[in-house]
Structure 1
Amino acid sequence: MNAHGELLAVECEDVAWFRDQPEAARGSAAALGRRIGLGETRTAELVLAVAELAANLTKHAVNGSVLLRVLRNQEVAGVEVIVVDGGPGIADVTAALRDGTSTAGTLGIGLGAVHRLADSFDIHSQPGIGTVQVASFWPRSSRPSRAGEVAVSGITRAISGEEVCGDAWMARVDTGERASSAHREEATPRRVTGPVAPDWSAMTATRPQGERVSGASPDADSSSRPGTRGRSVPLVRAAVAGPGQATLVMSCDGLGHGPMAALAAQAAVQAFRTGAARTPEQAMEQVHRALRGTRGAAVAIARIESDDRVLFCGVGNITAALVTTTSRANLVSHPGIVGHQMRHLRTYESSLPARGVLVMHSDGLSERWAPTDLASVLHHPPALIAAHLLRHAGTRRDDASAVVAKAAG
């Protein structure tokens, strides 16, 4: 939330990754700035910053990559630059941000100048491990408010050799008003199966009102997962959205990879973005309908409310966890393929700890990460946390994506 109690979320479009291609990154940054209307001066500043960051990778880093992407809110579009490398890291980040600090023949403007040029800039570096940097650039005349931090962000990366990614993520704010005219609850529970004939106009159904199960579902125990401190997550029958604003977050992994997987993922994003669903189960059913006729996907959807209550529903191989500096509690997804075979949906309820995060990622990242792997970055914005996790746990044998949502306050 920002200082006025409003939830902050932007849409992201990952445009292109660059490895060992500083000139290509500069050229793409120039074209991207012009395409979204940054303006001539602001685009030139973006290109200068990208050139410095890419040159630093070439001169100093190991396995460095630059991601360019578009950020959009309801009013304006900007460009975000994410830089990730595998070492050697920066021993003194404060010194590196001082003006005039540049070595080994880089452009000489230094990270301090990049920091000043960007509307927001974050960096995390660990000697011997690597560095993650995130910088955003908005039009000078219409910058979004900086009253608060964006609450949700994610990152995607295609499998090596592919230009499109079959993974996707999306977040939207539920004001509590969207469903009033577009959504009606059914009086009986619904069992979703597939495949059946496509029905893109069908409205989402919900489960009947019932009582919450006070105990934990036996399969909700996360203690068997690596790197966790297991605790049970209660199963909720007929989960109902709480009052006030909330954030809905989706992670999607289209089956396989390549263009057909990307089509499935984008269909899920479109259904989620435009849907009126307020609970994860309702949203999952909308996405299920939208994915009929595609190859299908694994999907996880969470609802984070203003009191940090979390509702979660997952189908397929999406890892989801509530993480603090010392703990990781996994959330349960159930077998199935959204768009094809999806049986009884189940919603689990938990609470997002203060200074904790919700992490969801595809199987393009290993599950074998522990809270200690994220402890040093949890105070950073979600985009940096997601990029750090991708660097730490990602593989290049599959499409990969991670999305991070922070606790309010």
Structure 2
Amino acid sequence: MGEVNPAWVRAEDPSAVGAVRRRAVELAEAAGFDTTRTGQTAVAVSEAVSNLVKHAVEGVVLVRPHPEAPAGVELVAVDKGPGMADVARALRDGYSTSGTLGIGMGAIARIATGYDVHSVPGMGTVLVMHFTAEGTPGPPLRASGLTRPIGDEVSCGDGYAIAENGESTTVLLCDGLGHGHIAAIAAQTAVELFAQVQDQEPLSILEHLHRGLSGTRGGAVAVARVGRDTVTYAGLGNVSGWVADAGGRQGMISLPGIAGHQGRTLRQYEYKIPPYATVVMHSDGLTDRWDPGNVPGLFARTPAVIAAGLLREAGSRRDDACVVTVRPGNGGD
């Protein structure tokens, strides 16, 4: 599945609760949830957003089809404070501390098909939860991606796509040249081109994208195939690729150029993935100066929480931003 234009909502006013709830209900009904499950999803989403509005600093929320399972609904909630010192305690029913997201967390966790939380006092909280129809298993949680447009723009010139096949996950990231609607066309075209050849080697996929983007503004593009212990990577332009864990990170090579317009002979490279590491790709809408050690515990969480945490810590409001995260094998197990 791919994504170009997400609908982030600022959780600054009580009206945000109703707006996000309505979006969650629309997605649940479209995914075939029955009335009871749709209502449960609405309650959990409302509770999460209400907590953001009441207690968080610079809270934002996104509700969307799940990147790995479009028949599921995912909520991503991010804030910059105050954070929780004891997440496990916050998840117990009845726990309430003024100034945290602890209120109602136990109920939220019980309703969701799955959830993950990362929180550091003074730094903020990332909450990700997903919902599926009654009796339907949750997604594998091997990969995730997030995009955010520059400033108050509606269209985002960055996009990504995820394709899972057995033990491997193949991902695309495209940073359309510039920003706004024309850049978004390039990113959407890249997502569509990727879908045509997603089973091929990353180098072949990149070559296909390079040819196919010639009728657009073009952009920076990278493709990675993540297996159990290796990642094969091919990039053209200013996309950052990393193999990262709590101890640090290793960079992956993208060649200079603009997909669709200019580039030298394309190449792909292979890198080893240490145990429990995560493959991270991001556009230049995120600074590359982030350090896993500066966000304690983040890289032990699920790909969606890692992506949201990196977007919060390293994302710039002066450019479109996109980050994709992938765990090797079956969720890194």
TM superposition shift of 1:78: 1.1
Q: Paired residue for 1:394, among 309, 315, 325?
A: 315
Q: In the aligned structure 2, how far is the partner of 1:128 from the partner of 1:104?
A: 14
Q: How many residues align structurally?
A: 326
Q: In the aligned structure 2, how far is the partner of 1:319 from the partner of 1:383?
A: 18
Q: Paired residue for 2:289, among 349, 355, 368?
A: 368
TM superposition shift of 1:48: 1.0
Residue identity in the other structure for 1:327: G
Q: Paired residue for 1:171, among 145, 148, 162?
A: 162
Once the two structures are superposed, the pairs formed by residues 9-408 of structure 1 within 5 Å of their partners are 15-19=6-10, 20=12, 21-71=16-66, 77-102=71-96, 110-141=104-135, 143-144=136-137, 149-174=140-165, 246-275=168-197, 277-306=199-228, 308-408=229-329
Residue identity in the other structure for 1:58: V
Contact 2:51 2:103 in 1 (8 A): no
Residue identity in the other structure for 1:144: P
Q: In the aligned structure 1, how far is the partner of 2:176 from the partner of 2:101?
A: 41
Contact 2:240 2:281 in 1 (8 A): yes
In terms of mean alpha carbon deviation, does 37-46 or 152-161 score higher?
37-46
Aligned pair in 2 of structure 1 residues 258, 14: CA closer, same or farther (>3 Å)?
closer
Residue deviations 1:232-264, cap 9 Å, x none? Answer: xxxxxxxxxxxxx53222111111111211111
Q: SS of the residue aligned with 1:30?
A: helix
Residue identity in the other structure for 1:62: V
Q: SS of the residue aligned with 2:263?
A: coil
Contact 2:158 2:321 in 1 (8 A): yes
Q: In the aligned structure 2, how far is the partner of 1:107 from the partner of 1:94?
A: 12
Contact 1:280 1:301 in 2 (8 A): yes
Q: In the aligned structure 1, how far is the partner of 2:93 from the partner of 2:41?
A: 18
Contact 1:62 1:88 in 2 (8 A): yes
Aligned pair in 2 of structure 1 residues 398, 13: CA closer, same or farther (>3 Å)?
closer
In terms of mean alpha carbon deviation, does 107-116 or 372-381 score higher?
107-116
Q: SS of the residue aligned with 1:397?
A: coil
Q: Which runs of 5+ in 1 are unaligned?
A: 1-9, 176-244
- Which TM-score applies when normalising by structure 2? 0.91
Aligned pair in 2 of structure 1 residues 106, 396: CA closer, same or farther (>3 Å)?
closer
Q: In the aligned structure 1, how far is the partner of 2:61 from the partner of 2:138?
A: 26
Q: In the aligned structure 1, how far is the partner of 2:328 from the partner of 2:212?
A: 30
Q: In the aligned structure 2, how far is the partner of 1:151 from the partner of 1:47?
A: 25
Q: Which runs of 5+ in 2 are unaligned?
A: none
CA RMSD for the aligned pairs? Answer: 2.3
Residue identity in the other structure for 1:261: A
Contact 2:90 2:105 in 1 (8 A): yes
Contact 2:83 2:101 in 1 (8 A): no
Q: Normalized per residue, which structure has more strand?
A: 2
Structure 1 residue runs of 4 or more that deviate by more than 6 Å after TM superposition = 105-109
Contact 2:5 2:155 in 1 (8 A): no
Q: In the aligned structure 1, how far is the partner of 2:89 from the partner of 2:5?
A: 31
TM superposition shift of 1:109: 7.0
Q: In the aligned structure 1, how far is the partner of 2:302 from the partner of 2:102?
A: 27
Contact 2:40 2:111 in 1 (8 A): yes
Q: In the aligned structure 1, how far is the partner of 2:280 from the partner of 2:198?
A: 24
Identity %: 46
Q: In the aligned structure 1, how far is the partner of 2:23 from the partner of 2:199?
A: 37
Q: SS of the residue aligned with 1:46?
A: helix
Aligned pair in 2 of structure 1 residues 108, 305: CA closer, same or farther (>3 Å)?
closer
Q: SS of the residue aligned with 2:318?
A: coil
Residue deviations 1:10-37, cap 9 Å, x none? Answer: 6667641110222222222222222333
Aligned pair in 2 of structure 1 residues 45, 110: CA closer, same or farther (>3 Å)?
same
In terms of mean alpha carbon deviation, does 97-106 or 30-39 score higher?
97-106
Contact 1:52 1:107 in 2 (8 A): no
Contact 1:38 1:78 in 2 (8 A): no
Residue identity in the other structure for 2:33: L
Contact 1:62 1:86 in 2 (8 A): yes
Q: SS of the residue aligned with 1:334?
A: coil
Contact 2:55 2:100 in 1 (8 A): no
Q: In the aligned structure 2, how far is the partner of 1:354 from the partner of 1:83?
A: 28
Contact 1:14 1:69 in 2 (8 A): no
Q: SS of the residue aligned with 2:109?
A: helix
Q: SS of the residue aligned with 1:16?
A: coil
Residue deviations 1:273-312, cap 9 Å, x none? Answer: 2215522110001112221211111011112223x12211
Contact 1:287 1:339 in 2 (8 A): yes
Q: In the aligned structure 1, how far is the partner of 2:122 from the partner of 2:18?
A: 27
Q: In the aligned structure 1, how far is the partner of 2:201 from the partner of 2:220?
A: 18
